[in-house]
Amino acid sequence: MAKSEVYLGVDCGSVTTKAVLLDKRKKVLRHSYRRNKSIITSLMECLSDLDLKKFKVKGCGVTGSGRNFIKIVLGADLAQTEILAHTVAVLEFYPGARTILDIGGEDCKLITIEGDIFSNFSMNSVCAAGTGSVLENIADRLDVAIEEFGGLALQSKSELHLPGKCGIFLSSAVVSKKNLGYEKSDILMGVCRALVRNYISVCGKNLALAPPFVFQGGVSLNKAVVKAIEEELNHEVIVPKHNTVMGAVGIALLVKEKMENGNKKTTFDSNLENKKFETINFRCVDCANRCEVTQIYEKDGLLGAINSRCGKWERKKIEGRA
């Protein structure tokens, strides 16, 4: 029996790794969402979830902050930014969308679209105040499972104003309210509203936000945050079916287009199960750039390197390496 032909999309972020298999009709056949351990371990877990042996991979695309690393490991055909990947995925399934809201574990993005074309974006990757890591920290302080955060917050009956511009101040305020006897549900909903206010004010600054709004990323699983966004925007937001893996969907769509239009043969390495990868990190002192280089090896063979500005370490082994 012939194997189904698919396109593999992988989104390697700071907190999670996501992967999807897309068929020729652009249908998501399988998907995986894993919290990061090490970058290679999480990647292999995702691929194991997809059970690639049952499929013929016609192309592989990678995105996210770890895209350059996993492109080397996978032999991927395409690497693109998560901004492009998220935009492509949303426009495929929601062609009329005007604003994409994406809140992840340690960064958040806001993308605007005009005339079915990406127009602008803003990204907060310096401060964690408007990200999922804040929610996890608050949940831990209140002894609430992160999976129960949204449901409990939606039980809130009293509005509570909390500071949202700094994650540390917010956490301190939460402890103070807890010690004063405030209901957990009210505190949690207050946290959601504070997070959303900060996210919209920081990432939405100088951007024209217009509906339809599409909200995705890991935090979109939290229905209380969805409610807080709708309150802040005074408009309904769409949460996609594949809300947590839209970046992986987008890069799968992009590599599908590339491989079909160019009639290309994939460079994806389907024989990954028995391979053992090793990374070596060092600072190059050969010039003033002082690049912090990561080399990737497999059986003492140098596969490539990242962060080498001149590119020489993509071909040159470090001294003393067999």
User: Residues 224-272: pLDDT tens digits?
Assistant: 999 999 999 999 999 999 999 999 999 999 999 999 998 789 999 888 8
- Domain for residue 319, yes or no? no
- Whether residues 115 and 224 share a domain: the answer is yes
Whether 77 and 185 share a structural domain: no
Whether residues 48 and 175 fall in one domain: no
Both 119 and 233 in one domain: the answer is yes
Check whether residue 222 and residue 102 sit in a common domain. yes
pLDDT value, residue 128 = 55
Answer yes or no: is 122 within a domain: yes
What parts of the chain have a pLDDT lower than 70?
A: 1, 125-130, 165, 167, 319-322
Residue 267 is assigned to a structural domain of this protein = no
The residues, ordered by sequence, that sit 6+ positions from 303 with a Cβ below 8 Å of its Cβ are 72, 73, 277, 296, 297
The strand pair at 292-298 and 301-306 is best described as antiparallel
Question: In this structure, is residue 17 part of a structural domain?
Answer: yes
Query: Which two three-digit tokens encode residue 44?
Result: 């292999």
Q: How many domains does the chain have?
A: 3
In a domain? residue 29: yes
Cβ atoms < 10 Å from Cβ of 274 = 5
Say what the pLDDT of residue 321 is: 58
For 320, left (φ over 0), alpha (ψ -120 to 50), or beta? left
Question: Whole-angstrom Cα distance, residue 254 to residue 65?
Answer: 17
- Domain that includes residue 297, residue range: 277-314
**270 in a structural domain:** no
- Do 24 and 134 belong together in one domain? no
DSSP codes of every residue in 166-224: -HHHHHHHHHHHHHTT--HHHHHHHHHHHHHHHHHHHHSTT----SSEEEESGGGG-HH
User: The domain spanning residue 251 has which CATH number?
Assistant: 3.30.420.40
pLDDT in tens, 120-154: 988 875 555 557 788 888 899 899 999 999 999 99
283 and 222 belong to one structural domain: no
SS3 percent helix, strand, coil of the chain, rounded to 5, is 40, 25, 35
Residue 8 and residue 107 in one domain: no
127 lies in the same domain as 10: no
Indicate if 49 and 67 belong to the same structural domain: yes
Does residue 126 fall inside a structural domain? yes
In this structure, are residues 141 and 108 in contact, taking their beta carbons and an 8 Å threshold?
A: no
- Which of 283, 279, 304, 285 is CA-nearest to residue 293? 283
Q: Determine the Cα–Cα distance for residues 171 and 134; give it in Å rounded to an integer.
A: 8
**Assessment of whether the complete model's pTM goes beyond 0.85:** yes
Beta-carbon contacts of 307 under 8 Å, excluding residues fewer than 6 positions away, are 291, 292, 293, 294
Domain assignment present for residue 290? The answer is: yes
Same domain, 154 and 79: no
pLDDT at 169: 78
Residues 167 and 225 in one domain: yes
